[in-house]
Chain A
Amino acid sequence: MTFDQVEIQLIAAVAAAACALPGAFLVLRRMAMMSDAISHTVLLGIVVAFFIVEDLNSPLLITGATLTGVLTVSLVELLNRTHLVREDAAIGLVFPALFSIAVILISRYAGDVHLDTDAVLLGELALAPFERFRPFGVDIGPVSLYVMGGILLLNLLFIAVFYKELKLSTFDAGLAAALGFSPGLIHYALMTLVSVTAVGAFDTVGSILVVALMIAPPVSAYLLTDSLPRLLGLSVLIGVASAIAGYWLAHFLDASISGAMATTAGLIFLVVLLFAPERGLVALARRRTRQRWEFAQAALAIHLYNHEDSPEAVLENRVDHLSHHLRWTPEFAVRVVQMAEQRGLIRRKNGHLALTDAGRRTAQTMLAAT
């Protein structure tokens, strides 16, 4: 590994961690698409701020971009409050419009500056180490590492200080308001955080990847845990893993790093979606199959219980009769009987089926439960 490679991975990992933290709250608050909107519209803020200060490295650009992010949120809310369009449509109306204005401004007035839409949307992580941070002439690393590191710190600090408020307003906004916390204030603070993070990250990784890093790791983590601290930790972990794995994927394919990072984040999600211990699709399917067999065995036990000691018991309680009465296919009936026998719920007595004590108890509890 060259030194550049280490630095790129470091920047990517820090950016991923910084994005995952506010992203987790977006996912929990069902506002994931806000990250998409904000990451697009911050471009307008950058362009406008650039026209005012005419310096691409000015911190005013970040301020301007953050303000546009917050402006996007309030415009969406304003539009939503007219009740003329629904929230999803409001988002879908506001951000393309603001983004279009930014693109037109760039192509009209900033054609000769380094400010092209491709770079903004797609980012170029490979170039990040070339811009060095040199306070007092000493090279202490790439600028973007410090920018993202600062933003990560800010996010950590905010979540640490306002953890209780964030948690309460996320899971029970009504209670939060009743207790005197202002959900609106927390909401806007969070949105400011999302904006700052989007601005910082999209310079290095591009705006679409900002969305991928904000949404994909928390969504994966959401399938793995029910506790908020663990969700935050896992999101950061998965984000960092996607970043590093993505870097190497891009390295071997000689392709866009940010694209590859989004791809690995997606692959990790796919694995989690399939194999998550409790909420994964495989676990879900297995649980359903098990429940189906257990239910069938219980139905069998109840059937036998109902006819127990009655004159028709000899007739009813035969394997070939079950398919007729419980509407089972003969194969299914044979399987169920075998399983129930193995579990000691029933036993065979000269050609017909009889309940064991355990089977009788099963039937009784099932019937009592209804």
Chain B
Amino acid sequence: MTIDFTLRTVALGTAVLGIVSGALGSFAVLRRQSLLGDAMSHAALPGIVLAFLLTRSRTPIVLLIGAILAGWVAALLMGVVVRYTRIKQDSALGLVLSVFFGFGLMLLTFVQRIPDAGQAGLNRYLFGQAATLLEQDIVTMAVLGGIALALMVLFWKELKLLSFDASFGASLGFPMRALDTLLITLIVVAIGVGLQAVGVVLMSAMIVAPAAAARQWTNRLGVMVALAALFGAVSGVGGVLISSSGGGFATGPTIVLVASGLVFLSLLLAPNRGLLARWLQRQRSRRRLRVTAVLSDLYTLAQQHDDPEHAHDIAVLRTMSAGSGGVGHTLETLAERGLVRQSRPGHWTLTQAGRIEAERIARGEEE
């Protein structure tokens, strides 16, 4: 595939957006504020339109500042509502999200009906149009995103405290309220960076998905943030490449779907936490349990019999296992380990090693 200049610019832009939103989204996900991004990105719309109305400029940086201010006001309002009334976080989110978006929509249609407003292009903030990204847009995105990431690194320790144990942080004398505001501001900036490419409707996914995928692979914050940035960049570039191949794959939704695919794979395949790993582990422990059970059963039988060498029918063992299944298979596993032997077809007895092992288990000394 030949990668032309425009495509390279667009891919670069979405990579920047993925890195910034992935890294900062990690904190939102860890703090159980995944949907904050949703509210903030919808809330950005009136900011964008108001910025245009006041300045009559379509320069991305002007609109972006409007978006960031509006997101900030929304976050502030939500904070007040949750702190001073009995309204819960979810209601505050839904309220702010829909009211701000509705307000932005009203302004947008209002602006569109002003003759000669030259507002064409505000619409693209709804669903995003990565294809319209220009080189100077990328520079704006990179500079703003870079500042946000630099602040994240600068306040790394404090943000870590905020994410994992805010009350401990407060007891150490850190200004947790101010840090909370800082983090929200950074997330709002990350959203602003992505709005032009992905749009307000789908931007929230770019905050949540890379971070949720990264969370599956590690328990360390640093690794998680780096992985989330990587996943974000992969989603951005991957989405652009797929949509540029034609066939009506709109860029924003494609980026989101790539990110969702990464989440799905991570949930499935991640070591330790992943669904597959957990399934395998369950199988392993079930097998181990069965081995112990059959060995103990044989030992019980041997003790009740005068002749310790007496071979017992597999049917007896099956009955003792109460239908948990796999007795024959388990016996073979035990035989391989030299703990039991088959004296004649269908009849099993403990070996010397098996008896010692069974006694160890009976004393409660698990392997």
Q: A111-B248, A223-B87 are in contact. List 12 more A-B contacts (CB 8 A).
A: A33-B38, A33-B94, A96-B256, A215-B95, A223-B86, A255-B106, A255-B107, A259-B102, A262-B99, A263-B99, A263-B102, A279-B86
Q: Are B101 and A262 in contact (CB under 8 A)?
A: yes
Nearest Cβ in chain B — how far from A62, in angstroms? 22
CB-defined contacts of A212 to chain B, threshold 8 Å: 95, 98-99, 101-102
CB-defined contacts of A208 to chain B, threshold 8 Å: 42, 97-98, 101-102, 105
Nearest Cβ in chain A — how far from B150, in angstroms? 26
Complex Cα–Cα for A269 and B260 (A): 35
Q: Are A96 and B204 in contact (CB under 8 A)?
A: yes
Complex Cα–Cα for A96 and B93 (A): 16
Q: Are B204 and A209 in contact (CB under 8 A)?
A: no
A156 CB within 8 Å of chain B? no
Interface string of B254-270 (1 = CB under 8 A from A): 10110010010001000
One of A6-14, A82-90, A143-151, A354-362 contacting the partner: A82-90
B155 CB within 8 Å of chain A? no
CB-defined contacts of A36 to chain B, threshold 8 Å: 35, 38, 94, 97-98
Provide the main secondary structure of the chain B interface: helix
A20 CB within 8 Å of chain B? no
Q: Are A281 and B84 in contact (CB under 8 A)?
A: yes
Interface string of B85-122 (1 = CB under 8 A from A): 11110111111011111111111111001000000000
Please judge, given known A-B contacts A30-B91, A93-B209, A97-B260, whether A222 and B113 are in contact too, CB under 8 Å.
no
Chain A residues 195 to 218 lying within 8 A of chain B, measured CB to CB, are 208-209, 211-212, 214-216, 218
Chain B residues 63 to 91 lying within 8 A of chain A, measured CB to CB, are 80-81, 84-88, 90-91
CB-defined contacts of B38 to chain A, threshold 8 Å: 33, 36, 92
A sample of 22 cross-chain residue pairs with beta-carbon separation below 8 angstroms, ordered by A number, consists of A84-B273, A89-B208, A89-B212, A91-B35, A93-B205, A96-B204, A96-B205, A99-B253, A100-B252, A104-B249, A104-B254, A109-B248, A215-B98, A222-B86, A250-B106, A255-B107, A255-B110, A259-B105, A262-B101, A266-B102, A281-B85, A284-B84
Find B91's partner among A109, A117, A219 (CB 8 Å cutoff).
Answer: A219
Which one of B205, B252, B275 has the highest number of Cβ atoms from chain A below 10 Å of its Cβ? B205
Q: Are B249 and A32 in contact (CB under 8 A)?
A: no
A107 CB within 8 Å of chain B? yes
CB-defined contacts of A261 to chain B, threshold 8 Å: 102
Complex Cα–Cα for A285 and B44 (A): 30
Q: Are A256 and B91 in contact (CB under 8 A)?
A: no
Which residue in chain A gives the minimum CB-CB distance to B270? A84
Find B33's partner among A88, A97, A214 (CB 8 Å cutoff).
Answer: A88
CB-defined contacts of A108 to chain B, threshold 8 Å: 247-249
Nearest Cβ in chain B — how far from A261, in angstroms? 7
A residues with CB within 8 A of B: 27, 30-33, 35-36, 40, 79, 82, 84-86, 88-89, 91-93, 96-97, 99-101, 103-104, 107-109, 111, 117-118, 121-122, 208-209, 211-212, 214-216, 218-219, 222-223, 249-250, 253-256, 258-263, 265-266, 269, 273, 279, 281, 284
Nearest Cβ in chain B — how far from A84, in angstroms? 5
B144 CB within 8 Å of chain A? no
B224 CB within 8 Å of chain A? no
Complex Cα–Cα for A350 and B254 (A): 85
Please judge, given known A-B contacts A96-B256, A99-B201, A121-B201, whether A84 and B216 are in contact too, CB under 8 Å.
yes
Complex Cα–Cα for A122 and B42 (A): 13
Find B250's partner among A103, A211, A263 (CB 8 Å cutoff).
Answer: A103
Please judge, given known A-B contacts A82-B267, A219-B91, whether A33 and B35 are in contact too, CB under 8 Å.
yes
Interface size on B, residues (CB 8 A): 64
Which residue in chain B gives the minimum CB-CB distance to A263? B103
Complex Cα–Cα for A215 and B90 (A): 10
CB-defined contacts of B274 to chain A, threshold 8 Å: 84
CB-defined contacts of B9 to chain A, threshold 8 Å: none
Q: Are A254 and B254 in contact (CB under 8 A)?
A: no
CB-defined contacts of B355 to chain A, threshold 8 Å: none
In the A-B complex, the 8 residue pairs with the closest CB atoms: A262-B102, A266-B99, A259-B106, A96-B205, A259-B105, A100-B253, A212-B98, A108-B248
Complex Cα–Cα for A134 and B35 (A): 43
CB-defined contacts of A107 to chain B, threshold 8 Å: 248-250
Chain B residues 214 to 232 lying within 8 A of chain A, measured CB to CB, are 215-216
B32 CB within 8 Å of chain A? yes
CB-defined contacts of A92 to chain B, threshold 8 Å: 34-35, 37-38, 204-205, 207-209, 212
Which one of B103, B106, B126 has the highest number of Cβ atoms from chain A below 10 Å of its Cβ? B106
Interface string of B38-57 (1 = CB under 8 A from A): 10001000000000000000
Which residue in chain B gives the minimum CB-CB distance to A39? B98
Q: Are A215 and B204 in contact (CB under 8 A)?
A: no
Complex Cα–Cα for A32 and B273 (A): 30
Nearest Cβ in chain A — how far from B212, in angstroms? 5
CB-defined contacts of A260 to chain B, threshold 8 Å: 102, 106
B358 CB within 8 Å of chain A? no
B183 CB within 8 Å of chain A? no
Q: Are B103 and A266 in contact (CB under 8 A)?
A: yes
Complex Cα–Cα for A120 and B338 (A): 69
Which residue in chain A gives the minimum CB-CB distance to B110? A255
Complex Cα–Cα for A55 and B265 (A): 36
Q: Are A85 and B215 in contact (CB under 8 A)?
A: yes
B125 CB within 8 Å of chain A? no
Complex Cα–Cα for A281 and B79 (A): 13
Complex Cα–Cα for A79 and B34 (A): 14
Nearest Cβ in chain A — how far from B100, in angstroms? 8
Q: Are B93 and A33 in contact (CB under 8 A)?
A: yes
Complex Cα–Cα for A91 and B212 (A): 12
Complex Cα–Cα for A122 and B91 (A): 21
Complex Cα–Cα for A222 and B90 (A): 14
Complex Cα–Cα for A15 and B103 (A): 19
Q: Are B85 and A273 in contact (CB under 8 A)?
A: yes
Q: Are B103 and A262 in contact (CB under 8 A)?
A: yes
Nearest Cβ in chain A — how far from B45, in angstroms? 10
CB-defined contacts of A215 to chain B, threshold 8 Å: 91, 94-95, 98
Chain B residues 175 to 226 lying within 8 A of chain A, measured CB to CB, are 201-202, 204-205, 207-209, 211-212, 215-216
B29 CB within 8 Å of chain A? yes
CB-defined contacts of A269 to chain B, threshold 8 Å: 95, 99
Q: Are A259 and B103 in contact (CB under 8 A)?
A: yes
Complex Cα–Cα for A31 and B37 (A): 17
Complex Cα–Cα for A281 and B80 (A): 9
Complex Cα–Cα for A215 and B93 (A): 10
Q: Are B32 and A88 in contact (CB under 8 A)?
A: yes
